[in-house]
């Protein structure tokens, strides 16, 4: 067995594992897990239900000391993954206790719009954990199922990349500063049928009516419609309080769902603005955090002209259903 | 709390059509606050206040003064939210702040919680605050 997995890390180690097929997946993950278990580390695996069964079977009784979580639940909205890892580190770290985890946020069935945000999530992991307690996160990438471009991006978002026995520092890693640099990847312009409403401090009621009408006519249940209305209300309130006091809402449908976009002339200063869990009730803005809890996907951009926040709610069958590895155990 | 003061500046002008009527007699149905989207009125049984309409950052400042107006020394505060059709985070924050300001073991009791309000409280994670209590009892019709 490789001894490299027995070594403690002295900083946050964000490592991509490139694998081809289930045997390769097990060959890459099992020594990592066993190394953690033997060192008495707390281990959390966030994977598909199918891969969790596979790993449990391989680990046998040793699997009892490992925690598992379903990535299709935890990472349904990828912006909820960092808070989940934060909880893991906070609850289990400290006092010199060692930690490691496996997380596979990207799989073939992720819709393109989700993939982009998952890739942003991978970069933000560096920002979220570089300054804190040392721990080791292994992120498997399925080279047979994913486009080569996705693998190239994994080399940019991870400082270390492993394929088979080849472990190395990634020459393409973009580094910590660039990982948290303002995200200004262009957003595709909506097709026809967009409704637009410029807003200021007097517009909240009108905005809620517009979103509610659209949510209802799109077929959302009253509960989900209410959640979207609340999410838009909070993001707009954020714009009114912190983003210059005015902005514009656009709302439309595409093939995946209903989309509400809030633009304002302000700027987000923290790259983790939407994934820092709010603390005490009295503290300020929590609109973007809330949007991530209420919506299926939230896209945040810092453009020269200001900020854009797109809130997505899937209609019909959710996209990005987690299926990878499902044929391996059946 | 800096953001709260800023909200007051943003929404102070042009929104209210009727200013607080805090010195009104303590009779049920008397309005203590009203604007285009929210009315706060007194209730008698139990003694407290009732919110009707929509609460957001433009008017959540009305919560504190309305509750102060309805307070009876040494008694819990009853707040009927049955007809509060929308309440945002700033509204909940105002209710939480009002509840937190109570002393001598008094509680702020919310009656007739709509689903939307439950969602906000759950999502912001404030369902465990000791002085803010959700009452499942029926409010007597006025």
Measured CA angle at A66 (ends A61, A68), to 5 deg: 115
Q: Tell me whether residue B24 is in a domain.
A: yes
- Is residue B126 less than 8 Å (CB to CB) from chain A? yes
Report residue B26's pLDDT band, with 50, 70 and 90 as the boundaries.
Answer: low
Chain A residues within 8 angstroms (CB to CB) of chain B = 201-202, 204-205, 208, 222-223, 226-227, 229-230, 233-234, 237, 240-242, 245, 278, 281-282, 284-287, 290, 293-294
Report residue A318's pLDDT band, with 50, 70 and 90 as the boundaries.
Answer: low
Given an 8 Å threshold on Cβ–Cβ distance, is A229 in contact with B86?
yes
The mean pLDDT value for A295-320 works out to 89
| Domain CATH code at residue B115 | 3.30.750.24
Report residue B53's pLDDT band, with 50, 70 and 90 as the boundaries.
Answer: very high
Q: Tell me whether residue B140 is in a domain.
A: no
- Tally of CB atoms within 10 A around A271: 20
Among B58, B120, B129, the residue with its CB nearest the CB of A230 is B120
Partners of B93 on chain A (C-beta within 8 Å) are 281-282
Output the pLDDT for position B72: 78
The yes-or-no verdict on residue B24 having pLDDT over 80 is: no
Quick one: tokens of B61? 């400042």
The yes-or-no verdict on residue A289 having pLDDT over 70 is: yes
What stretch(es) of chain A map to CATH 3.40.50.11570? 4-179
Q: Which fold has domain A195-314?
A: Heat Shock Protein 90 (3.30.565)
Output the pLDDT for position A317: 61
* Total number of domains in chain B: 1
Among B6, B15, B93, the residue with its CB nearest the CB of A281 is B93
Given an 8 Å threshold on Cβ–Cβ distance, is A241 in contact with B58?
no
* Cβ within 8 Å of residue A48, ≥6 positions away: A70, A71, A72, A104, A107, A322, A323, A324, A325, A326
What is the SS3 assignment for B79?
strand
Given an 8 Å threshold on Cβ–Cβ distance, is A281 in contact with B129?
yes
Which runs of consecutive H residues, i.e. helices, occur in A60-174?
71-74, 81-92, 112-129, 148-157
Q: Length of chain A, please?
A: 330
The mean pLDDT value for A287-313 works out to 96
Output the pLDDT for position B11: 62
Distance from CA of B26 to the nearest CA of A (A): 31
Closest CA to A33 of A103, A90, A82, A97: A103
Given an 8 Å threshold on Cβ–Cβ distance, is A284 in contact with B93?
no
What values do phi and psi take at B43, rounded to 5?
-120, 155
What stretch(es) of chain A map to CATH 3.30.565.10? 195-314
The yes-or-no verdict on residue B127 having pLDDT over 70 is: no
- Residue B91 to residues A100, A236, B39, B75, B118, Cα–Cα distance (Å): 41, 15, 14, 23, 12
Q: Tell me whether residue B124 is in a domain.
A: yes
Q: Tell me whether residue B142 is in a domain.
A: no
Strand duo B47-55 + B84-87: pairing: parallel
Quick one: tokens of A229? 């209305």
Domain ranges, residue B60: 2-135
Output the pLDDT for position A44: 98
Reported as a single tens digit per residue, the pLDDT across B92-113 is 889 888 888 887 788 889 999 9
Which residue do the tokens 């059709």 mark?
B85
Partners of B5 on chain A (C-beta within 8 Å) are none
Interface test with A, best of B89, B91, B108, B131 (most A CBs within 10 A): B89
Interface test with A, best of B5, B60, B88, B117 (most A CBs within 10 A): B88
**CATH number, domain A4-179:** 3.40.50.11570
The yes-or-no verdict on residue B14 having pLDDT over 60 is: no
Q: Tell me whether residue B141 is in a domain.
A: no
Decide: A314 and A266 in contact? Cβ < 8 Å.
no
Reported as a single tens digit per residue, the pLDDT across A12-26 is 999 999 999 999 999
Reported as a single tens digit per residue, the pLDDT across A92-129 is 998 888 999 999 999 999 999 999 999 999 999 999 99
What values do phi and psi take at B33, rounded to 5?
-160, 145
Given an 8 Å threshold on Cβ–Cβ distance, is A290 in contact with B126?
no
Distance from CA of B57 to the nearest CA of A (A): 7
Distance from CA of A148 to the nearest CA of B (A): 38
The yes-or-no verdict on residue B139 having pLDDT over 60 is: no
Interface test with B, best of A200, A220, A231, A241 (most B CBs within 10 A): A241
Q: Tell me whether residue B105 is in a domain.
A: yes
Distance from CA of A279 to the nearest CA of B (A): 9
Report residue B27's pLDDT band, with 50, 70 and 90 as the boundaries.
Answer: low
Mean pLDDT for all residues in chain A: 91
- Number of cross-chain residue pairs from A and B with Cβ atoms under 8 Å apart: 72
Tell me the percentage of chain A whose pLDDT exceeds 90: 80
Given an 8 Å threshold on Cβ–Cβ distance, is A202 in contact with B15?
yes
Tell me the percentage of chain B whose pLDDT exceeds 70: 73
The DSSP line for A245-257 is S-EEEEEEE-SSE
Q: Length of chain B, please?
A: 142
More reliable by pLDDT, B135 or A162: A162
Output the pLDDT for position B18: 45
What values do phi and psi take at B35, rounded to 5?
-140, -165
Report residue A307's pLDDT band, with 50, 70 and 90 as the boundaries.
Answer: very high
Report residue A47's pLDDT band, with 50, 70 and 90 as the boundaries.
Answer: very high
Given an 8 Å threshold on Cβ–Cβ distance, is A205 in contact with B96?
no
ipTM, two decimals, is 0.84
The yes-or-no verdict on residue B38 having pLDDT over 70 is: yes
* Cβ within 8 Å of residue B76, ≥6 positions away: B106, B107, B108, B109
Reported as a single tens digit per residue, the pLDDT across A206-234 is 999 999 999 999 999 999 999 999 999 99
């Amino acid at each position: 067995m490789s001894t490299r997995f027995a070594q403690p890390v002295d900083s946050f180690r964000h490592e991509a594992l490139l694998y081809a097929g289930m045997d390769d997946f097990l060959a890459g993950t099992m020594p990592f897990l066993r190394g953690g278990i033997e060192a008495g580390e707390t281990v959390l695996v966030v994977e598909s239900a199918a891969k969790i069964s596979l790993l449990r079977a391989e680990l046998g009784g040793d699997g009892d000391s490992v925690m598992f979580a379903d990535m299709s639940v935890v990472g349904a909205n990828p912006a909820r993954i960092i808070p989940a890892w934060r909880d893991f580190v906070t609850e289990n770290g400290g006092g010199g206790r060692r930690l490691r985890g496996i997380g596979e946020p990207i799989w073939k069935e992720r819709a393109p719009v989700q993939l982009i945000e998952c890739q942003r999530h991978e970069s933000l992991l560096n920002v979220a954990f570089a300054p804190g307690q040392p721990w080791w996160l292994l992120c498997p990438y399925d080279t047979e199922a994913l486009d080569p471009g996705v693998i190239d991006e994994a080399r940019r978002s991870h400082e270390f990349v492993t394929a088979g026995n080849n472990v190395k520092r990634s020459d393409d890693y973009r580094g910590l500063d660039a990982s948290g640099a303002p995200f200004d990847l262009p957003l595709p312009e909506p097709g026809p049928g967009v409704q637009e409403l410029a807003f200021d401090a007097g517009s909240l009621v009108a905005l809620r009516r517009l979103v509610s009408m659209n949510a209802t006519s799109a077929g959302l249940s009253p509960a989900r419609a209410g959640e979207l209305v609340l999410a838009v209300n909070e993001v707009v309130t954020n714009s009114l309080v912190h983003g210059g006091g005015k902005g514009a809402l656009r709302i439309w449908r595409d093939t995946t769902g209903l989309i509400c976009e809030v633009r304002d002339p302000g700027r987000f200063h923290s790259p983790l603005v939407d994934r820092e869990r709010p603390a005490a009730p009295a503290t300020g803005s929590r609109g973007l955090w809330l949007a991530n809890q209420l919506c299926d996907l939230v896209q945040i951009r810092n453009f020269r002209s200001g900020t854009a926040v797109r809130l997505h709610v899937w209609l019909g069958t959710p996209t990005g259903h987690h299926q990878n590895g499902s044929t391996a155990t059946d | 709390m800096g953001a709260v003061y800023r909200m007051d500046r943003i929404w102070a002008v042009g929104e209210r059509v009727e200013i607080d009527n805090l010195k009104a007699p303590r009779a049920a149905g008397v309005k203590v606050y009203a604007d285009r989207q929210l009315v706060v009125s007194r209730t008698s049984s139990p003694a407290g206040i009732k919110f009707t309409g929509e609460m957001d950052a433009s008017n959540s400042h009305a919560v504190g003064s309305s509750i102060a107006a309805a307070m009876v020394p040494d008694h819990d505060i009853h707040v009927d939210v049955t007809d509060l059709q929308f309440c945002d985070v700033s509204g909940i924050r105002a209710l939480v702040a009002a509840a937190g300001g109570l002393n001598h073991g008094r509680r702020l009791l919310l009656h007739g919680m709509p689903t939307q309000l439950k969602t906000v409280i759950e999502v912001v994670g404030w369902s465990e605050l000791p002085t803010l209590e959700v009452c499942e009892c029926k409010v007597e019709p006025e």
